[in-house]
Structure 1
Amino acid sequence: MKIFLHTNSFLLFLLMVFLPQALLAQRLVGGQVLDARSELPLEGVTITASTGEQAVTNELGDFSLSVPESARRLVFSYLGYETQREAIPPAGQELRVLLQPGEANLQEVVITGYESNRPLLQTAGAVSLIDREVIARFDESSIVRAVNTVPGVRMEERAPASYRLSIRGSTLRSPYGIRNVKLYYGGIPFTEANGTTALNLMDASNIGSIEVLKGPAGSIYGAGTGGTVLLEPRRAAIGESALQVGATLGSYGFRRYTAIAGFGTEKANVLVQYAKQQYDGYRPQSAIDRDVLLITSEFYPSEKRTVGANIIYSNLYYELPGGLTLEQYEENPRQARGGMFGSVTQNASMNQEGINVGVKQEYRFTEQFRNNTVLYGLHRFRNHPFNTDYERNASQEFGGRTSFAYDTNIGSVGASFTVGGEFQRGFEASRTYDNNGGTPGNLRSDDEVVAKSGFLFAQAEFKLPADIIATAALSLNDTRYEITRLQQVGTGDYIYNRDFEAELSPRIALLKQLTDKISVHASVSAGFSPPTEEEILTSNGILNEDLEAERGTNYEVGVRGFALANKLSFDVVAFYFRLSETIVSRQDVSSVAVFRNVGSTNQKGIETSIGYTFIDEPEQALSLLKAWTSYTYSHFKFDEYQRDEDNFSGNWLTGTAPHAATAGLDLNTSLGFYMNATGTYVDEIPLNDANTVYADSYLVLGARVGYKRQLGYHIGLEVFGGVDNLTNEKYSLGNDLNAFGGRYFQPAPDRNYYGGINISYKL
């Protein structure tokens, strides 16, 4: 008994001696955590000290935490937001932490398409998202590999910066350039009135995120059967002013340099970005030199009003190595097209200089009633020696878009109504010459082209009982071309007007949210796609007066959601699309693409995206480990196709692979090391309408590893390196379809490497 009393007395003595010292060694840290964009308080944010102590914010976003003097930093983590580390401030100073929204799960991602701004789980339509992390997992020389990570989308690059894009279809209408797909940048039209899009004037680093709306589902975006792509600009972090510079070097003379300055406050967000990219080329006559200056801004003068502006200036030069025959491709894929009209001999290349300026305003009259209005203008000059001719074009364009949205309740039913319109007018002065070894020769044709396109749209959305959302949308579209031929050898002058009859494009969709984690959706939509200016007025100066607009109807059903404690995400869509008056292209003897309507196509498909997060613990040594995959099955065939004496009905649709898949593995560590691995498989592709020539299937692997760390408060460092086409696969990434003389193949580079560094400084 005496031993027990003595022991307790001794422990009490030790406690009385050391407790005051322990208390003196502690300090109290407090502050508030807010959403970076809205600056509203965040409840439930976990704050972890570097010594292990934890606290949670209350409903006001406030926290207090007692930490030992040895603690150096606090880690703030919250579902749907980027994990943030902050140094512990001096005694008596409170922290004000602005958390940035991060890569969220399906329940949290908000879709801006369809003008409804609903979470993805409540969006009735096939939508794919490509965020900044996906774009940055590659070397950013282009966005092709990032776009090809999502199902139902195929992007190609016939030569560096020579993009083609198709959504649920082939590239038959796009022997070069992007057509039949409508693009917007920050809500401002980026596709021109003539139906073409010069996406190569933009740098991959200019893009913060991408939403892809598939098929004729975007009624509120006007005419089109090929889908809509919404690009969001890269923006400065809210509450942060920073400078960043970066450099990347790679195989075949690849050089890339970037400089960014941005600041974000509660009243303004401004980002200025310059990107310089150069590449000597894998093949002769395949170099590129591009300068892009981006200024993007948003201002918040009041709670009701947001004003923004984008300015993009680009100066682009890239060379065109030309297509190879199968024999040339197998003999030496690194050669360029030769002969009298060879690419090197004729200096086949593209010079484009352009500036796009857009302004926008969002105004909330009340909590229920709001308006979005944008105005834009562009100027572009193109100097284009091709293998068989020489083109010089200058374009000017202006346009605008406005929409009014009203949210209300009709009894117990929530309703949202949207109406608006869009108009574009473009003028182009176009001249073609003989190409005399890369210099313009005799004038062939001199044209002035005015393109006008516009549409009115309306959409009604109802939130019905039993967690059902019903949507009905309609647009009325009109397109007109006015072509004045000032001069053409042998034919004289004339004026040609083509006014495509205004047509309605309806869409009906239903969504049922089965649980808070799973929803199903179905929709029916119809659309039409008038020919672009380049399909009516080809580069050989011949007018294609008989070309009609494509018309299509799309049916689809899908299910998306997440399971297994939110670790598994999935998105599956099945669709049936029937297209009439299908436009196809083929090359004539002078390699000029000519177009015609050929009946109809029958397109059935399945698109799947699946992801699984094994580890997502920011404070563990292995902080993130996730795997993902996308798969596309395309059963696309010509339904009716008669060309002269040839009947191609029942043939596989030219330029479309029946199977395509992409998979990736992402790994991050708390120390800052990371690894991204990507593999892409594409099945064999028919290269002509007769289905007698195919491109072989291929599997391309790539990986990027790096170290990314914040060195104190001010300096951030990223060092990285990567490899593309790791297995040295031989493949063609931009086949010329129905090519004259069998020149189908545009070889992609073999195994190549890159490495670089990014340094940022917080002001």
Structure 2
Amino acid sequence: MKKFILVFLLLSSISEALAQVVKGKIIDATTLGPIENAKVLEVGSGVFTFSGASGNFEIETSTTNIILEVSALGYVTRQIKANPNSVKSISLIPSRENLSEVVITGALISKTLQNTPASISVLSTKDLQKIDNSNLAQVFNAVPGVYVNQGALNTTKLNIRGIGARSQYSTNRIQAYFNGIPLTSGEGELTIDDFDVEAISKIEVIKGPTSSMYGAGLGGVINMYAGNAEIDKAQIGISSQVGSFGTYKKTVSASHGTKSTSLFATFNDLESDGYRDNGSYKRQSGLINANVFTENGNKLSFLGNFTKLKAFIPSSLNENDYVNDPEKAAFTWGKSRGYESYERGLFGVSYIHHFSTDFANQTSLFVNFRDAYEPRPFNILKEKRVATGARTKFNLQLKLFKLDSELSFGAEYYKEWYSMQTFENLYQDFEDQGSVLGAVLSNNEQDRNYANFFGQLNLELSKKLNLETGFNINTTSYGLEDLYVADEIDQSGDYRFKTTFSPRMGLSYEIVPGRNIYTAISHGFSTPTVEETLTPEGQINTDLKPETGINYEIGFKGNWLDNRLYTEIALYSIQIDNLLVAQRISEDQYVGINAGKTNHNGIETTIKYNVQLTPKIRIQPYFNAAFNYFEFEEFVNREEDFSGNKLPGVPKSTFNSGFEIGYANNFTLFTNLLAVGEIMLNDANSLSTDNYQVIDIKARYDFKVFNNFEANISAGINNVLDEKYASSVLPNAVGFGGAAPRYYYPGNPRNYFVGVGLNYVF
């Protein structure tokens, strides 16, 4: 008996000695964020475990060399060889084959696209490769419900579901973030074309009022994410692209990734003469994205981006010039050689801390600046903007009424200092010299502030039914100091908008696995700019109210044919009150009024299909469409009643269709057709543009030169059929001094580009 006990203890001790633990962490290869509920399986033994909220896992093994199979919803399954204590981080690539399983990281609580009760479009790295990489704005036309007005590389206006369509020269009423750092100014203006295609890994577009999550953003939110390094890989790359109109771009990038660090950096130089006179463009930009991880799932991140731009402005044309001489610049802009130039930077630090497997916090601090000089025919503008702020968010997983739930809550504060001076432009007194600085015309300083307090609760009411509810409380104020004493008008003053409460509620129901219906109600708002609050006499109009809107939406998201076919349809109705209208009272001055109500009713659809024709050949056709029924419900402006008219500046419909053909992971052909319907040019609906269709084609070939050298060659044609169209319009344009109104920005004719890239892996 003693011998039996001795043998048993000996075998037990040997077994215990052989049993070892492999520890690691599962992260997203794109965002470097932790992946929860990833399955980690020891191949052969059948032993498995799941990662926690921080992405960490532990699995026992009795061998020294094992193979782990790691899988997670929305990611490509991966197998790796591992030894005990040798694996710390395993990165998974988001799946492109099953779009519905892509995880939405920009929301307060991360969820798969399938289970999110909202209309969200995700643009992956592959989607960004489809376009001419000198023009980021192109990619947004692939999002149903989004329309891009682009007069030039530096003149881009986006509107989402018709909101922002009345903007004159820039994107407004849309919130945007880059790695969680606000890009939208304190006045709600956004410049999206400062960022380079090759610096971005993913874009998420949340459509419709989203103030419950992000504050002032009536149209929606754009979340962009910087590129990252791959784990256990160091590389450096160079690329170059040349194209029509003297376009030339060169890029240098480098990255280095380990199990606990990631560093990605890129610099690019883009130049173009432009299709039109006075249209030359030069932009230099650089980006650094660095991350440090700890074993318990915490992450410290740093982001820096700097842009230097000088871009001449051909401006809009009247109908005669648009039809007969589209290459010319507007006369006064050509004579003054008008342009814009600025230096812009943003810097941010973010820290994610896991207090436990169920409780985490993410806090970000940021600062950004913009120093600009813009000679226009009517004056010369100098402006400086410095902004700083912080955003903190807590996420807690808990049982509420015995139901699985997750709570998110936090706050965001934004402070902006803005100074603006205008000067006379004496270009008419100095023939052929372009713009010349003259006397001071105005000198203002502004302080802009806003604070958001937000919360969201997700409840799993059943295995098929999920409830998402949330709110945001916003306070916005500004102060204006008029430093110009040569006139008798003092515009100084302070103004605070009433506290705005924005709720949201959504339900998602799984009909069968892979097919969900959802419904949502959300509130949104956008505040007037400082300029819009000024009366013609230069005083602050304290009666001006923010635009507010309520979005009612119902939709379906579903997979078919063994997940090869993905379909999505959304029906929505947005009612906007206190419509802000910018009335033009001089060539460079607008006055805002609350002029009525608009109805934005629409249907959006997405269809994507993956076909594997042979083991080496795949084809992925897609179709996106938006049908827009946007009109004034009540709108009386200057004693003219426009009620019932269509909203100007937004197309009646948009279709985006094409396919991607791939061969053996080396050759890819992209085609895209953009069809745009009629666009009204004024509130009276007396003028409109014609329908137009633009076809783009691009091909890319990737290959290895040597063991560590990777190369690629790409070429493409934009506007293959040489369509003549207006790529941007100026709603309600007004002619001054007897001149015809300038509504049109002509689109580029057929143009070409060729690129080559070389990458060395250490």
TM-score by length of 2: 0.87
User: What is the rounded CA distance, in whole Å, between the counterparts of 1:637 and 1:689 in structure 2?
Assistant: 10
Given the alignment, which residue of 380, 385, 390 partners 1:390?
Answer: 380
Residue 103 of structure 2 contacts residue 112 of structure 2 at CA under 8 Å; is this kept in 1?
A: yes
Compute the displacement of 1:732 (Å): 1.1
- Pair 1:343 & 2:337 matched: no
Residue 430 of structure 1 contacts residue 447 of structure 1 at CA under 8 Å; is this kept in 2?
A: yes
Compute the displacement of 1:446 (Å): 0.4
User: What is the rounded CA distance, in whole Å, between the counterparts of 2:610 and 2:563 in structure 1?
Assistant: 8
Partner of 2:654: 660
- Pair 1:363 & 2:353 matched: yes
Distance 1:83 1:673, change over 3 A: farther
Q: Show the 5 A alignment for 1:520-559.
A: 520-536=517-533, 546-559=543-556
Distance 1:194 1:33, change over 3 A: closer
* Counterpart residue identity of residue 348, structure 1: G
Given the alignment, which residue of 247, 252, 266 partners 1:273?
Answer: 266
User: What is the rounded CA distance, in whole Å, between the counterparts of 2:72 and 2:542 in structure 1?
Assistant: 59
- Pair 1:143 & 2:136 matched: yes
User: What is the rounded CA distance, in whole Å, between the counterparts of 1:649 and 1:655 in structure 2?
Assistant: 16
* Larger mean Cα displacement after TM superposition, 235-244 or 672-681: 235-244
Given the alignment, which residue of 315, 319, 341 partners 1:322?
Answer: 315
Residue 43 of structure 1 contacts residue 61 of structure 1 at CA under 8 Å; is this kept in 2?
A: no
Given the alignment, which residue of 443, 449, 453 partners 1:456?
Answer: 453
Number of matched residues?
698
- Pair 1:203 & 2:160 matched: no
Partner of 2:577: 580
* Larger mean Cα displacement after TM superposition, 486-495 or 712-721: 486-495
Given the alignment, which residue of 303, 308, 312 partners 2:305?
Answer: 312
User: What is the rounded CA distance, in whole Å, between the counterparts of 2:354 and 2:102 in structure 1?
Assistant: 23
Compute the displacement of 1:234 (Å): 1.3
Residue 482 of structure 1 contacts residue 496 of structure 1 at CA under 8 Å; is this kept in 2?
A: yes
Partner of 1:749: 748
Deviations along 1:206-231, one digit per CA (max 9) or x if unpaired, are: 22111111111341211221111111
Distance 1:671 1:577, change over 3 A: closer
Distance 1:256 1:156, change over 3 A: same
* Larger mean Cα displacement after TM superposition, 585-594 or 36-45: 36-45
Partner of 2:121: 128
Given the alignment, which residue of 600, 605, 613 partners 2:602?
Answer: 605
Q: Show the 5 A alignment for 1:199-348.
A: 199-338=192-331, 342-348=332-338
User: What is the rounded CA distance, in whole Å, between the counterparts of 2:536 and 2:127 in structure 1?
Assistant: 37
Given the alignment, which residue of 736, 739, 748 partners 2:733?
Answer: 739
Distance 1:588 1:578, change over 3 A: same
Given the alignment, which residue of 494, 499, 509 partners 1:497?
Answer: 494
Residue 606 of structure 2 contacts residue 623 of structure 2 at CA under 8 Å; is this kept in 1?
A: yes
Quick one: percent identity of the two aligned structures?
Answer: 27
User: What is the rounded CA distance, in whole Å, between the counterparts of 2:224 and 2:214 in structure 1?
Assistant: 14
Distance 1:661 1:489, change over 3 A: farther
Distance 1:591 1:61, change over 3 A: farther
User: What is the rounded CA distance, in whole Å, between the counterparts of 2:25 and 2:412 in structure 1?
Assistant: 41
Deviations along 1:634-659, one digit per CA (max 9) or x if unpaired, are: 10000111112311111000111111
Residue 547 of structure 2 contacts residue 578 of structure 2 at CA under 8 Å; is this kept in 1?
A: yes
Partner of 1:621: 616
Compute the displacement of 1:694 (Å): 0.7
- Where structure 2 has 5 or more consecutive residues not aligned to the other structure, the ranges are 1-23, 49-58, 64-69, 82-86, 428-434, 736-740
Deviations along 1:415-471, one digit per CA (max 9) or x if unpaired, are: 111111111110111101111221221111100100001111111110112511111
Partner of 1:10: none
User: What is the rounded CA distance, in whole Å, between the counterparts of 2:76 and 2:253 in structure 1?
Assistant: 21
* Counterpart residue identity of residue 312, structure 2: E
Residue 275 of structure 1 contacts residue 292 of structure 1 at CA under 8 Å; is this kept in 2?
A: yes
* Counterpart residue identity of residue 376, structure 2: F
Residue 33 of structure 1 contacts residue 99 of structure 1 at CA under 8 Å; is this kept in 2?
A: no
Q: Show the 5 A alignment for 1:718-737.
A: 718-737=712-731
* Counterpart residue identity of residue 725, structure 2: Y
Distance 1:706 1:58, change over 3 A: farther
Deviations along 1:296-318, one digit per CA (max 9) or x if unpaired, are: 11110332311101001110111
Partner of 1:760: 759
Given the alignment, which residue of 404, 413, 426 partners 2:416?
Answer: 426
User: What is the rounded CA distance, in whole Å, between the counterparts of 1:183 and 1:635 in structure 2?
Assistant: 25
User: What is the rounded CA distance, in whole Å, between the counterparts of 2:259 and 2:181 in structure 1?
Assistant: 23
* Larger mean Cα displacement after TM superposition, 97-106 or 237-246: 97-106
Compute the displacement of 1:203 (Å): 1.8
Residue 424 of structure 2 contacts residue 439 of structure 2 at CA under 8 Å; is this kept in 1?
A: yes
* Larger mean Cα displacement after TM superposition, 171-180 or 663-672: 171-180
Compute the displacement of 1:197 (Å): 2.2
User: What is the rounded CA distance, in whole Å, between the counterparts of 1:61 and 1:323 in structure 2?
Assistant: 68
Distance 1:357 1:98, change over 3 A: closer
Compute the displacement of 1:580 (Å): 0.8
- Pair 1:706 & 2:705 matched: no
Distance 1:346 1:58, change over 3 A: farther
Residue 125 of structure 1 contacts residue 217 of structure 1 at CA under 8 Å; is this kept in 2?
A: no
Name the SS for the 1:511 alignment partner: strand
Q: Show the 5 A alignment for 1:400-419.
A: 400-419=390-409
* Counterpart residue identity of residue 204, structure 1: V
* Counterpart residue identity of residue 130, structure 1: L
Q: CA RMSD in A?
A: 2.9
Partner of 2:52: none
* Larger mean Cα displacement after TM superposition, 145-154 or 710-719: 710-719
* Larger mean Cα displacement after TM superposition, 542-551 or 690-699: 542-551
Distance 1:116 1:710, change over 3 A: farther
User: What is the rounded CA distance, in whole Å, between the counterparts of 2:536 and 2:271 in structure 1?
Assistant: 28
User: What is the rounded CA distance, in whole Å, between the counterparts of 2:417 and 2:556 in structure 1?
Assistant: 44
* Larger mean Cα displacement after TM superposition, 406-415 or 707-716: 707-716
* Larger mean Cα displacement after TM superposition, 595-604 or 567-576: 595-604
Compute the displacement of 1:490 (Å): 2.5
User: What is the rounded CA distance, in whole Å, between the counterparts of 1:600 and 1:352 in structure 2?
Assistant: 37
* Counterpart residue identity of residue 426, structure 1: E
Residue 114 of structure 1 contacts residue 218 of structure 1 at CA under 8 Å; is this kept in 2?
A: no
Partner of 2:560: 563
Name the SS for the 1:324 alignment partner: coil
Name the SS for the 1:509 alignment partner: strand
* Larger mean Cα displacement after TM superposition, 190-199 or 243-252: 190-199
Given the alignment, which residue of 676, 695, 711 partners 2:689?
Answer: 695
Residue 236 of structure 1 contacts residue 262 of structure 1 at CA under 8 Å; is this kept in 2?
A: yes
Residue 591 of structure 1 contacts residue 740 of structure 1 at CA under 8 Å; is this kept in 2?
A: no
Distance 1:545 1:173, change over 3 A: farther
Partner of 2:16: none
Deviations along 1:667-712, one digit per CA (max 9) or x if unpaired, are: 1111612100011000010011111111111000000012112445
User: What is the rounded CA distance, in whole Å, between the counterparts of 2:673 and 2:196 in structure 1?
Assistant: 23
TM-score by length of 1: 0.87
